[in-house]
Amino acid sequence: MSVKEVVLIKVNGEDKPGVTAKITSILAKYNVSILDIGQAEIHDNLSLGILAEIPSSIESAPALKDVLFCGYEMGMAVSFTPVSTENYNHWVSAQGKPRHIITLLARKLTAEHLSRVTRIVADYELNIDNISRLSGRVALEDEASNEFSKACVEFSVRGTVDQGALRAEFLTVSSELGVDIAMQQDSPFRRNRRLVAFDMDSTLIEAEVIDELAKEAGVGDEVIAITESAMRGEIDFNESFIRRVALLKGLDESVLEAVAQRLPITEGAERLVSTLKKLGYKTAILSGGFQYFGRFLQKKLGIDYVHANELEIVDGKVTGNVTGTIVNGERKAFLLQEIADSESISLQQTIAVGDGANDLPMLSKAGLGIAFRAKPLVRENAEQAISTLGLDGVLYLLGIRDRDDVHG
């Protein structure tokens, strides 16, 4: 009794319309089954692979000969590799292994970046199933001169791994090479996020508002001293916040407007929020800063929710007090959960982005926590980190390509 043949057909050459159609139409004449297919195009060069099962009722030679001749007519190189039953069954059995997405981000990618990442992947005995460029094409002259250039490559890998150990290695390489390397489990939640919560100071804006207000009030040095004391662990966030706000007593309300108008929006923030809104995401600011500035950004960027500290103002002057519950780290995590519940969104479908230790509770609670241009302690404790690109680098972690851009 004749046995079905499994053959890997590889087609390479200049990309042109109709290559796949012509090859598969020939295989169709011989009632060939397609077990797997993949196609990639790099710089107008096509690489097509078809894993074909040829029926036992026919000889493979005529079918393969016709494919070879078709390739010749199109100026394409065609090769065939027989696949044994044992080899095929081994390939099928591997499909149940866990999958992960590794995202490499930099201003410009080099061979060393790719070499270091792929060497670590190989050391952990992970198989790379697919490599894709998510960033757009860049002209050589632009790449050399644009300080805001972006480069991103995504790897789909398969295998069981100690994620903590692998992330630690990636963090070390990131620091050495000045790149970002993110790793996520490939799951339906990754492709179905619905809520993104942002810290405000040093995340959505490139400033610490309380420091800007302190300068205007002439108490900049005193506020810095309290901040440093808190960072040394001598006082907690709530106490440090209350003491810093007290120093703002007597500041004229008009100063708040002036400071708000000059706040520098973080690179990529407007593109990120605009894209998220067009894709149907809900967005929130969860900040240990002030509601006045949160509302200013809400109006400017189109944010859905804002929760921050309410600076008390009486007769046009700052009293040095805040009203309501102080928004500290634990409060941010609580508010993330509250907003998700109100929108009927699972926590696995949430993203939190922040830079400070005060953000770690919400970064840990969210389905995807991203430390953005964060302090070393925060980067080490967050699941993911972006330090080299702007805030719109978050889109790459969602698998969104530059060519998919819906901004504008």
Cα angle: 303, vertex 384, 366; to 5 degrees: 50
Which residue type does 71 have? Answer: G
Identify whether the C-beta of residue 323 lies closer than 8 Å to the C-beta of residue 331: no
Of 180, 199, 359, 392, the catalytic one is 199
**Dist. CA 355–CA 260, nearest whole Å:** 20
Identify whether the C-beta of residue 386 lies closer than 8 Å to the C-beta of residue 366: no
Q: CA end-to-end span of the chain, whole Å? A: 63
State residue 294 phi and psi, 5-degree precision.
Answer: -65, -40
Of 44, 180, 201, 392, the catalytic one is 201
199 catalytic? Reply is yes
Give the H/E segment covering residue 288: strand 282-290
Supply the DSSP string of 29-42, one letter for each residue.
HTT-EEEEEEEEEE
Count Cα neighbours of 323 within 13 Å in the Cβ-side half-sphere: 9
Conformation bin of residue 224: beta by default, left when phi > 0, alpha when psi is -120 to 50: alpha
**Dist. CA 21–CA 15, nearest whole Å:** 13
Tokens 């900049």 correspond to 220
Active site residues: 199, 201
